[in-house]
Amino acid sequence: MNDSNEVEREIEDDHDLLTYNESSARLSEEIANLRSQIEQAGTDGITADGLTVEAAKQRIVDLEEAAQRNSQLAETDKDAAGFLGFTPGQSTTD
């Protein structure tokens, strides 16, 4: 995410693949959604999704851990570009 809390997505289509960038964007959106729901929870302590505030907070922790793992994998996955980095007409063995 950038400083304005906007979720950043790849400009190009993701070719129906769940890329590291797309998964990061989805995790960020869900975390922001849960934080908003916690702020708007009623006096009964239940979010719009039917979670208790405590369950929503734990879900945020879990999602933040998943985002961290995703970020680490994106940095270390030597094959992350896969065929998306393929240039037509170029041999993959060159």
What pLDDT, in 10s, does the model give residues 32-45?
999 999 999 989 99
pLDDT tens digits for 47-72? Answer: 999 999 999 999 999 999 999 999 88
In sequence order, the 6+-apart residues with CB closer than 8 A to the CB of 60 are 31, 34, 35
| pLDDT, position 10 | 61
| pLDDT given at position 85 | 55
Listed by start position, the domains of the chain span 20-75
Distance from C-alpha of 28 to C-alpha of 42, rounded to nearest angstrom:
24
pTM, entire model = 0.70
| pLDDT digit string, tens, across residues 67-86 | 999 988 888 887 766 555 55
β partners of residue 46:
52
Residue-level pLDDT at 20:
83
Rounded Cα–Cα distance for residues 40 and 3 (Å): 23
